[in-house]
Structure 1
């Protein structure tokens, strides 16, 4: 068995639905990121890429991972596989590539995720006339199949997460993202696409008082609002996963995957899917950095409370409430953020931090969590 290590990580800016990335399909978003990740290390130094594994939720089908690999110029002999684990797809893709390395099936994989809400095809059931739908079922009706927003309201209410606490968490996410953007802490991980070079969603000037004026977005007495929830977004993220043997030969630092877990919970409380997965990877202690996908402030806080993680330690440069949530890419964005912080940024930013966790919940009550450590 050989240990999998991430040695390069990149992402596009995260664009608003209908924003600056609106003209780019999923393969057009993913291809330049795949190319940039490989170029960061040097394609000639890596040799053959064994596969491309990409998460995607609402794309056109037709295996976008393979299309993106060809568009990126990786060669006709590089296959591709597209993973759908809903919002956890990007992180599941990274974990899947790591499993291939650990099993000895190959030594170098490009993995991540991509989403283009702007170009996602419209779907309908084959009734007469056709019935449009915005999403497929997360679970059979008898299990309860709520939309994300109402489910987040339920989770927050049952966990006793107040509206004020949610708004404060959202304000902090925006403040951190704006500060990181202004300080250039995102610059090295970004790959400009179509003239878009920066994340479009972070906004300065939010206060708890200002956020308190927003009305409930999903249920009449709910606490999730447009301001303390993530956006609908476009973007792509990818990492290069290699064997420890190859990393050592190249002489580059990286993030070694210590543990990963995929678990599930009641589909009616789908926002808690990350909890059992996080408990598994937290067995060896609390990490230095936690990147948790902030789909909804209340749902995020319920998960963090359940596993005993201080909310102030999560997403030090802001999370999805501020940066956005390109569904199939979001889990991979978390790993890119960990790589940038733990491997690329200097001690003045990270101190002695050397371990990190990336985790998120997904539709259907599924959760994925991974634990990483720096290796040099």
Structure 2
């Protein structure tokens, strides 16, 4: 193994709040700063003395500017000499940030980088187009040129389900699976070591309300009979419902990445980044994006899906998850036993989907499932996300001890 291979040695996230609720008054920079500070404390407690060379954070709907730099300046323990880079690859932003940080470490540019993502849909600014007749509000930036096709994500998920034959019943069953697993993980305390609570008033401005979240807010018991009666959420003839679409959410996740030589010298367990890839697909069917990205990283590493021990796929929509798993030969709804490697403790459908952070949350989950749980060296984990505009991002990781 090369001594400059990038390795994740610490991984933290916030509890995820539903937009307008648990973290409703907490700015993106404050969510990021809290989790940055926790990851830094973890790295220092493990004996990592290297200077922090950069902070790379994914974000989609923040205030603009360089949010990562502001978060680095806000976080306790990081000085003015630590720069920042903000990445926008939509729902793949957090994972893209991890891949970029891995490249910095692999090339020798950095001895330690903190990477991840953050989203505060609750506090995101409202934007407008300037026209001769005044400002005209718009809901979102374009994902693709209108001439090619630029659907919203909900209708795109409906189109994907039609194109690849994913019926309503399977989508409903997968949503129930995600919530059931998330509730079981909460009850067993499997998220406790990876999470950090957000203080009531992280910025000291007196603006935040309510108590800190002590769980991921969205997860709940879903009655299959009730789920089956829900109307289509996005298209009159669609199959995606409020239960099978992830909620708009607030949250942050950060990982500490160092070279293999640093990890080995300290004798730390970690997740080595083996390979990463981003691939483009038809913007009209963006949910297909993870398929070529996953195939690319597996081919680069000389592995196949059967050799993976843990898989975290951002659950933007049940239809998207099932389309991807069908293409990759996975069976998360198998009878009598499903493929438990996929989102073992639930995913974004149940935990929430803070867009810029979700890809990094997936890597935090891999770290807990494999490194914190004591998986042996050589165990493989995969993280992947679909991206608006027709892209997929994937990263392959290996346990090192």
Match of 1:257 among 258, 273, 278: 273
Q: CA deviation at 1:177?
A: 0.2
Equivalent positions of 1:97-112 (< 5 A) are 97-112=101-116
Q: Is 1:181 matched up with 2:183?
A: no
Structure-2 residue corresponding to 1:120: 124
1:156 alignment partner in structure 2: 161
Deviation readout 1:135-154 (Å, 9 max, x if unpaired) = 10001111100000000000
Query: What is aligned with 1:191?
Result: 196
Query: Quick check: 1:289–1:353 contact (8 Å CA) kept in 2?
Result: no
3-state SS in 1 of match to 2:196: coil
In the alignment, does 2:347 pair up with 1:322? Answer: no
Offset of 1:38 from its aligned partner?
Answer: 1.2
**CA apart distance, 1:129:** 2.6
Corresponding residue to 2:82 among 66, 72, 78:
78
2:206 aligned with 1:203: no
**TM-score using structure 1 length:** 0.96
Partners of 1:343 and 1:45 in 2: CA distance = 17
Paired residues of 1:190 and 1:197 also in contact (CA < 8 A): no
Structure 1 distance, partners of 2:114, 2:49, is: 11
2:21 corresponding residue in structure 1: 19
Distance 1:79 1:251 in 2: 28
Q: Which residue number in structure 1 is paired with residue 230 of structure 2?
A: 214
Instruction: Give the structure 2 partner of residue 41 of structure 1.
Output: 43
Q: Give yes or no for contact 1:116–1:326 (8 Å, CA) kept in 2.
A: yes
Structure 1: any 5+ residue segments left out of the alignment? none
Return 277-286 or 88-97, whichever deviates more: 277-286
1:257-287 deviation line (CA, Å, top 9, x unaligned):
1111110101011111111101112331221
* In 2: Cα distance, 1:298 partner to 1:184 partner: 29
Is the contact made by 2:119 and 2:252 (CA closer than 8 Å) also made in structure 1? yes
1:285 maps onto 2:296 in alignment: no
Answering whether residue 384 of structure 2 is matched by residue 359 of structure 1, we say yes
Secondary structure (helix, strand or coil) at the match of 1:372 reads strand
Deviations 1:265-323 (A, max 9, x none): 01011111111101112331221110000100011111111122222331000000000
Give the 3-state SS of the residue equivalent to 2:140 in structure 1: coil
Q: 1:198, CA displacement in angstroms?
A: 1.4
SS at match of 1:212: helix
User: 1:228 offset after TM fit, Å?
Assistant: 0.9
RMSD: 1.4
2:144 aligns to what?
139
Paired residues of 2:36 and 2:75 also in contact (CA < 8 A): yes
Deviations 1:110-131 (A, max 9, x none): 0000000000000111022311
| 2:363 corresponds to which of 327, 335, 338 | 335
The secondary structure found in structure 1 opposite 2:15 is coil
Q: Deviations over 1:156-193 (max 9, x none)?
A: 11110010000000000000000000100000011100
Q: Give the length in aligned residue pairs.
A: 372
Q: TM-score, normalised by structure 2?
A: 0.91
> 1:375: which partner in 2?
400
Q: Does the CA contact (< 8 Å) of 1:168 and 1:208 recur in 2?
A: yes
SS of structure 2 residue aligned to 1:199: coil
CA contact (8 A) 1:51 1:79 kept: yes
* CA shift in 2, pair 1:352/1:207, >3 Å: farther
Give the Cα separation in 2 of the matches to 1:249 and 1:27. 33
Give the equivalent residue in structure 1 for 2:72. 69
Equivalent of 2:9, from 7, 10, 16? 7
1:248 is aligned to 264
The structural deviation recorded for 1:370 is 0.5
